[in-house]
Amino acid sequence: MRAATAGRAPEDAELVASVLEGLGTRPKRIASKWLYDAEGSQLFDRICELDAYYPTRTETGILEANAARLAAFVPERAALVELGSGSSAKTRILLDALDDLAVYVPVDISGEHLRHAAAGLAADYPRLPVWPAVGDFTAHLPLPGELRDTPKLLFFPGSTLGNLEPDDAVALLRRLRDVANVAGFVIGIDLEKDVARLRAAYDDPEGVTAAFNTNLLVRLNRELGAGFDASAFVHEARWNAERRRIEMHLVSRRAQVVRVAGRRFAFEEGESIHTENSHKYTLDGFADLAARGGWRSRECWVDDDRLFSVHLLVPAG
């Protein structure tokens, strides 16, 4: 983490440095992790409930159908470690199937949202220790030191790995492969499909995804004193065929200048801030990616429509 600027908490300094760097590039960008403040996390939970957003309900169905098979693989007294846990809704499927866990460790960058979700799980599963860990797992997995010798099952639902560039995804997989005593890795991966269906999932008619994306500007105004007029930007979901991904952008409706942390950034009409990617994979393509990261596939499950996949990976070699 970068050193704090005067008068700012370290996490604010990291946000400032990241945003200034991204807005200073061409094309402009802001890292997708900053979408997930408390309001952004709540909006994303609403997205997951939308009819157009197929990933959540499809992955949930796959997990429900195969939870018993997953449970048979998990070592006794293991720690379940969830990356980007959010509301931990899908986690309950595993917790109901795994009755001999030592601890559940949800990891998320949004501390307020994480603590609220963890409190709810602790109340519903009173015999299971719940140890929430606030942090950016793409940079460092903040696991308690006393879990070093505990066998671990990593859980990464939602196809969140698809937010990363492929090389960055491989680097993350390699770091997770090196976690002490990791026994396996359950990961959800979205699959390539009809482009119209993808666009609908990331630009819903209710406008929730647009609100989620635009909330990033509201956050920057609140936390950094930025001067964004959120109404002067419009959400846009684009399919990048070459890179096999959906991209989220905030497109400037007009020429304008915005001040952020003492710096001025000029926008042309139609110029965008690239805020998030969601890469889509084939089954073979993801297997190759996992192998580059030091994992091999032990099981793979897909829904009947082959929209989404859940993989049980184990360390290779």
Helices 195-202 & 54-73 angle (0-180, nearest 10):
100
Whether the CB-CB separation of 85 and 78 falls below 8 Å is answered with: no
Contacts of 79 (CB under 8 A, 6+ apart): 101, 102, 103, 104, 105, 147, 150, 151, 152, 153
pLDDT < 70 positions in the chain: 1-11
Q: Domains of the chain, with CATH numbers?
A: 10-30+196-279 (no CATH), 54-193+280-315 (3.40.50.150)
pLDDT of residue 11: 58
Question: Does pTM top 0.85 for this prediction?
Answer: yes
pLDDT of residue 91: 92
pLDDT of residue 2: 27
Q: How far apart are alpha carbons 86 and 111 in whole angstroms?
A: 10
Q: How far apart are alpha carbons 63 and 59 in whole angstroms?
A: 6
pLDDT of residue 291: 97
Instruction: Convert the pLDDT of each residue in 115-136 to its tens digit.
Output: 988 999 999 999 999 999 998 8
Instruction: Convert the pLDDT of each residue in 158-212 to its tens digit.
Output: 999 999 999 999 999 999 999 999 999 999 999 999 999 999 999 999 999 999 9
pLDDT of residue 112: 87
Overall size of the chain counted in residues: 317
Whether the CB-CB separation of 253 and 234 falls below 8 Å is answered with: yes
pLDDT of residue 4: 28
